[in-house]
Chain A
Amino acid sequence: MSVQIWTFIFVFITFGLYIGIAIKSRAGSTSDFYVAGGGVPPLANGMATAADWMSAASFISMAGLISFLGRDGTFYLMGWTGGYVLLALLLAPYLRKFGKFTVPDFIGDRYYSKTARLIAVFCAITISFVYVCGQMQGAGIVFSRFLEVDITTGVIIGMTIVFFYAVMGGMKGITYTQVAQYCVLIFAFMVPAIFISILMTGVPIPQIGFGSELTQDFGGGYLLDRLDGMSQELGFATYTEGQRSTQDVFFITAALMFGTAGLPHVIIRFFTVPNVRDARRSAGYALIFIAILYTTAPAVAAFAKTNLINTVSNVEYTSVPEWFTKWEATNLISFTDKNNDGRIQYLGNAEENELEVNRDIMVLANPEIAGLPNWVVALVAAGALAAALSTAAGLLLVISTAVAHDLLKRSFIPEITERQELLYARISIFIAVLIAGYVGINPPAYVAQVVAYAFGLAAASFFPAIVLGIFNKRMNKEGAIAGMLAGFLFTAGYIIYFKTLNPALDNADGWLFGISPEGIGTFGTIANMLVAYAVSKFSPEPPDSVQTIVANIRLPGEAIRQ
Chain B
Amino acid sequence: MSDHNARSYWRSNIRIVLTLLSVWFFISFGCGILLVDTLDNIRFGGFKLGFWISQQGSIFVFVALIYIYIYLMDKLDSKYNFESSTSAPTSGQAPEETITEEQET
**Judging by beta carbons under 8 Å apart, are B47 and A211 in contact?**
yes
CB-CB under 8 A for A89 and B62, given A74-B32, A210-B56, A280-B69: no
CB <8 Å contact, A88 and B10: no
Contact with A along B86-97 (1 / 0, CB 8 A): 110111111101
Query: In the assembled complex, how far is the CB of residue A57 from the closest CB belonging to chain B, in whole angstroms?
Result: 17
A222 to B58, CA, bound (A): 22
Q: What A residues does B10 contact at CB under 8 A? A: 554-555
CB of B48 within 8 A of CB of A240, answer yes
Q: Is A250 an interface residue (CB 8 A)?
A: yes
Contact A88–B87 (Cβ < 8 Å)? no
- With both beta carbons as reference points, the residue of chain B lying nearest to A301 in the complex is identified as B55
Name 17 interchain pairs, CB-CB below 8 A, sorted by A: A74-B54, A85-B21, A85-B24, A85-B66, A89-B21, A90-B17, A211-B45, A250-B29, A250-B33, A253-B28, A281-B70, A287-B66, A291-B60, A555-B10, A555-B82, A558-B86, A558-B93
Q: Check B99 for interface membership: any CB of A closer than 8 A.
A: no
Q: Mark B38-54, 1 if CB is under 8 A from A, else 0.
A: 00100011111001101
| Nearest B residue (CB) for A257 | B28
- A89 and B69 within 8 A (CB): yes
Q: What's the least CB distance linking B40 to chain A, in Å?
A: 7
Q: What is the CB-to-nearest-CB distance from A96 to chain B, in angstroms, rounded to a whole number?
A: 11
The interface residues of chain B lying within 8 Å CB-to-CB of A74 are: 32-33, 54-55
Known: A89-B66, A257-B28, A295-B59. 18 other contacts (CB 8 A): A78-B33, A85-B24, A89-B21, A93-B73, A222-B46, A224-B46, A240-B40, A240-B48, A281-B70, A284-B66, A284-B70, A291-B59, A291-B63, A298-B56, A555-B1, A555-B10, A555-B82, A561-B91
Q: Are A558 and B95 CB-contacts (below 8 A) given A277-B74, A551-B6? A: yes
Q: Give B contacts to A, CB under 8 Å.
A: 1, 6, 9-10, 13, 17, 20-21, 24, 28-29, 32-34, 36-37, 40, 44-48, 51-52, 54-56, 58-60, 62-63, 65-67, 69-70, 73-74, 77, 82, 84-87, 89-95, 97
Q: How far is the CA of A93 from the CA of B89 in the complex (A)?
A: 15
Contact B95 A557 (CB under 8 A): yes
Please give, as numbers and ranges, the residues of chain A lying within 8 Å of B17 by CB-CB distance: 89-90
Q: What residues of chain A lie closer than 8 Å to B48, measured between beta carbons?
A: 224, 240
Q: Please, how many residues of chain A have a CB less than 8 angstroms from a CB on the other chain?
A: 63
Q: Which residues of B contact A257 (CB under 8 A)?
A: 28
Asked if residues A275 and B87 are in contact (CB atoms below 8 Å), the reply is yes
B81 to chain A, nearest CB (A): 9
Which chain A positions have C-beta within 8 A of B37?
242
Whole-angstrom distance between the alpha carbons of A85 and B58 in the complex? 11
B65 touches which of A85, A241, A276, A552 (Cβ 8 Å): A85
Is A452 an interface residue when CB atoms closer than 8 A count as contact?
no
Task: Assess the B13–A554 pair: CB atoms within 8 A.
Answer: yes
Residues of A within 8 A of B24 (CB): 82, 85-86
Per CB-CB distance, the 6 closest pairs between chain A and chain B, nearest first, are: A222-B46, A561-B89, A274-B87, A557-B94, A211-B46, A74-B54
* A559 touching B89 in the complex, CB below 8 Å, given contacts A77-B54, A240-B48, A254-B29: yes
Q: Are A277 and B51 in contact (CB under 8 A)?
A: no
Within 8 A of B (CB), among A258-286: 274-278, 280-281, 283-284
Q: Please tell me if the beta carbons of A99 and B89 are within 8 angstroms of each other in the complex.
A: yes
**A370 proximal to B (CB < 8 A):** no
